[in-house]
Chains A and B, each alone.
Chain A
Amino acid sequence: MRLEHWLYTLPLKLRSLFHRNRANAELAEELRDHIDRQTRENLEHGMPPEEARLAALRAFGNPTLIRDQTHAVWSWAWLESAARDVQFAFRRLRKAPGFSTIVVLTLALGIGANTAIFSLVQSILLRSLPVSDPARLYRIGDHSSCCYFHGFQNSDGDVDLFSYDVVRQFQQSSPEFEQLAAVQAGGGSYVMRWGTSPAKDLRTEYVSGNYFTMLGVNAYAGRPLSSSDDVTGAEPVAVLSYSAWQSDFGGNPGVVGSTIYLEQHAFVVAGIAPPGFFGDRISPFPPEMWLPLATEPIMEGSNSIVLQPDTAWLYAIGRVRPGVNLALLQAKLSSVLRNWMTTRAAFTANGGAAIIPRQHVVLSPAGGGIQKIQEQTGTGLRMLMFLSSIVLLIACANIANLMLARTMAQRTEIAVRIGLGATRARIVRQILTESVILSTIGGAVGLAVAFFGSHAMLTLAFPLSPDLPVSARPSSIELAFAFAISILTGLLFAAAPAWVSTGAQPVDATRTVNSSSRDHASIPQRLLLIFQVALSMVLLATAFLATRSLYNLEHQQMGIETADRYTVQIDLKGAGYTPERLPALYRSIQDRFSALPGLTRVSFARYLPLEGNEWGDCVILQGHPTPGPNAHCFSDWDRVSANFLDSVGVPVLRGRGFTPDDENGSTQVVMVNQAFVNRFFPNVDPIGQRFGVADSKYSGAFQIVGVFADFKLTDPRAVVKPLFLRVLGQQYSGYQGPGMDAGETNSLYLNRIVLEFNRPQQDADQLVRSTFAQIDPNIPVNRVTPYPEMVAGRFNQDRLLARLTEAFGILALLLASVGLYGVMSYHAARRTSEIGIRMALGATRSMIASMMLRNAFLQFLVGLAIGIPAAFFASRMMAHLLYQISTSSPLAFIGATGLLGLCALLAALIPAVRAASADPMRALRTE
């Protein structure tokens, strides 16, 4: 029955879909045939020809109506009427190219900005790792501390960094994990040599042997790491990332199974990770090589951290079996951790035992990887998402206003159509169709904007990270997002004109367009303007705040001079230098570079100010006991050449600076910064005092010879922390135990050089490399960066936030001004005759202008009244993105109000003046 039904109807349905024109022609022919036959019949009955035809038509009824009614019973009638709506809408839009272009461009910017930011949000905050079943991955720990920790971690007892020993304890005690892996929290790099190709620096990450098994990731070529690789004595192996294989090994498949050298140690390349796999977290600098934890002692020798069970430096991430109770698992892991701690002197000594009961872990979902970059960029991205959606709302309000003015201008046309029998639903549908078409085109153009936008944003935020595993190419989710907001905005900005048009009366058609009769549009138009002013206020205030904050960051007193200085990053350990050979090498570098024309100073340091790296220890004053676990004894320390402070322009405040003699001297001299003095010697003259690190038995190790001015070492936002400097070459020989000794030896390698020139350099990079080639071609020069550029790099994300909020603010200002101008001119035009009458009755031009301005001013004030509290609220969201500026800074609010007021005044003044300068006679004649 059903089948037979389709048998008869399907051809007909297809025909009426695909051969619409022929079907229409046949219907017309059929109806004409009927009338012809009836006419002939009438003729045969003896009617005169004219009469015969008329009678036939009379009997038939209205042929057009019949045709339409017949049409309506056909299949696809709805489709046809929709197609006709679309056609009609296109025709109307083509007739108004200016209007259409403005709407499409406005929308493209709004939708493009939103899609671009959404694509970043999606690929950074919402994305899962490209591994199998990421939903079952959990991490033990919910912070992202880094990179090495000794003793207790957070004051609330939340622990997220572990030693390999602890992770093994977790593995043994929790079968709830199918696999539990350990991954290095920080990352390092080693100089790699392969065959005859030049040495390269590859980023590495130590992982436990079950890392790839836990993630469910296989090798692209060769094999992934396995647990048997992660055993002391096993042959050292490495897995390369796909992109490293492509760029550093030229995609040569022969590398699998071959031997490479890391520093001087032989490793076999076990395999290559699949393309798209970027490790266990989204990072600007994803690892290029994964090494088993068991090989760490090979690389680091006696400095190895794997061999120090009390140093926490690993994250634990695992795959949980289905159906596991996470709360129970978390409690169990916490107690495993506490039990382990009670067996360790490092935790129980000096009153630590009392703190152990507070220690615990928190399980966190790790399907998106370790949430490090997410924590760093999350607030900023969410803020941008919020701001860009406000831009879109303003764009919508603006377009709604334009549409409204357009609808009002077409009131006569609409009234005529209603008079001719168009239903109101049909008119509304027409307006909606038109807006959805506009917004869809806007969305398509917006996608292009989004693509370039997110690309530009990524380059701005992470300029030195070509390997960042975040793509700017729109995914299907982003396409869907863009499409959805296009449709949504289309409906949003059509709502007001659609509502107004339903009030059209056929009788309006008989009135003239310019009549000052009751104005449906005026209330929604005013509301939209107020809305725009309020939202613009929010954007401008946040733009002011972000810009000011960036200015504060960049122009703060960092405490160092960077102009005309270049930083050079080398790797002396990787080049095979032993500590004994270092002093001669430093001298040789010093001599060679000093001989270069225009070079005024060469200095060395282990860590550079504002490079982003630091090293520290617990400071113990001479004769004091080893402090308890929660004591604030931490101080950064750095090793520098004697002329370093001079070379970065840091003044000595008290005592003396280092001299070249100190580099060879036997007294262990140190310099400390003002913050160090404030912390450890608040009431004592620090000069001549002694202190040590780590344990009270070393507390007499160093003697303070001078105090230097504070400068920012790592975080430009933070207050300066205590810092002490030791001088190049001085090795403290009193340390006992291999760990302390190895650390001391390691600190002798000064891999950063500051070159100060007396004039700007054309090609410093080439100069540095060729000079090093003369000194020792084996020394890899990893990077040559102008010092100001390196410091500016610390503010990339702040700059991005500031630039984008500025762009949004300017866009909002522009849209709001155009909107106000449009509405004001429209009102002025509508009131032309009224103005003519007023002037004829004696109103002066200034009275007319002020009447018009008063109107605009009122809307502006109401907009401000809503906008200022809203901006206040929005700026609270970005509180901790701001540096040294209060979220309620009057500057931002006064500045935003002033700027907005100025633009509003201009936008309102021009139409007002134009209206006032009209000739009264001409104004009266417009009626």
Chain B
Amino acid sequence: MITFSAIDGTPVYYWRSTRGDTSTRNWQATQAFYDVLVPWIRDLRSLSAGYGTITYLVSAGFYVNKTGQHGEGTAMDLDHVRWSGGTVSSPLDHHHASTDLAVRRRYLAVDAVCRRRFRYVLDGWYNADHADHIHSDFGGLPVRCLTSSEADTKFVQSLCNDFQSSGLAVDGIWGPKTTTAFDAAKAKLGVTGDPHTTTAAYQSFLSAAARKGFANQAF
């Protein structure tokens, strides 16, 4: 386990006790997990460059003394992202459920960037316990879009609804309507290959979706 207070130079704060607290926190995670957090934040910086640099992140925890991925030091709960231009994406404030489409698209863009590097990403659509943070972990790697995963399916359904008005029920059940909407999204984003079986294809899809999300553009 290593201790860190910043990811690749970007500070990570804790707001669960005091909102807006910018005191240094000493987080813990495995070296292997931190080594993935670095390309993750570089993806985030690159794909959201129009907002400026990332000023800080806010987390609810990395290593947490409980069972599962948090207890192994291989998980992150993301509460808030703040860019230098003043833009924020705040899972802590339930941005997945915002009435502002641009805010929801930005949340989905951050969500998509998490999914580029972490196999299991649990977001506000997954269940009520994740309404105020995005959980990302090492379980189930490599990165792919699994139709058997409720988390992956709800993400795709939400993405298709907010970027191409697919009108899908966000129920976590991958059926023919989700397949049709996903295939349409892939085509509009110019993604080739099968994101269900190929990591590179899914990562390309996620990058393209994130660019659209940060730019607030429909597919």
Verify that A and B bind, or say they do not: no
